Structure 1
Amino acid sequence: MSIQTRQGGELQMSPSTYSRLIHFLQEDLSISAASLAVALRHREQDPGPLPMILWQYGLITMEQLEQIYDWLETV
């Protein structure tokens, strides 16, 4: 698995895994580029796992959040 947990529980991933995550979000879950941009802007101000930020701001559903974490477990 290419995902590692940092002290404090924040997920760290390799650039290739991050790129695959973005592709998964856009292609498999149909998350818009605009929604991702909003989440990334908020992430700069309040760092945290991208999937959680997407969910906290109502950009994805709980079901999609679960799908993302299921996907992350397989990479």
Structure 2
Amino acid sequence: MNPPYERLVQFLRDELRLSPSSIDLALRHSEQDLGPMPMVLWRYGLVTLEQLERIYDWLDSPGLPKVG
């Protein structure tokens, strides 16, 4: 896992309280080029639209590396 994803995974665990299995599923599918990890989480119903917005707000925060 690359460093930007490590920070995203930490945010998903700590702030959104996502389960490790949900995060693993999203990582696997995003690596298979099925889309950005946040969209994979939403597409599979693992986050709500509100949580998806929080993820993208967090990703847009200054100082964070961009994650696809």
Alignment TM class, shorter chain as reference:
0.7 to 0.9
TM-score where L is the length of structure 2: 0.78
Q: Which runs of 5+ in 1 are unaligned?
A: 1-14
User: Which one has a bigger Cα radius of gyration?
Assistant: 1
Higher strand share goes to which structure?
1
4+ long deviations beyond 2 Å:
40-47
Partner in structure 2 of residue 58 of structure 1: 45
* Deviations, residues 18-54 of structure 1 (Å, cap 9, x unaligned): 2111100011110110101122232344431000000
Q: Which runs of 5+ in 2 are unaligned?
A: none
TM-score where L is the length of structure 1: 0.72
Number of equivalences = 61
CA RMSD of aligned residues (A): 1.4
Percent of pairs with identical residues: 56
Q: Distance in 2 between matches of 1:72 and 1:46?
A: 19
For structure 1, which segment, 64-73 or 45-54, has the greater mean C-alpha deviation from structure 2 after superposition?
45-54
- Partner SS state of residue 40, structure 2: helix
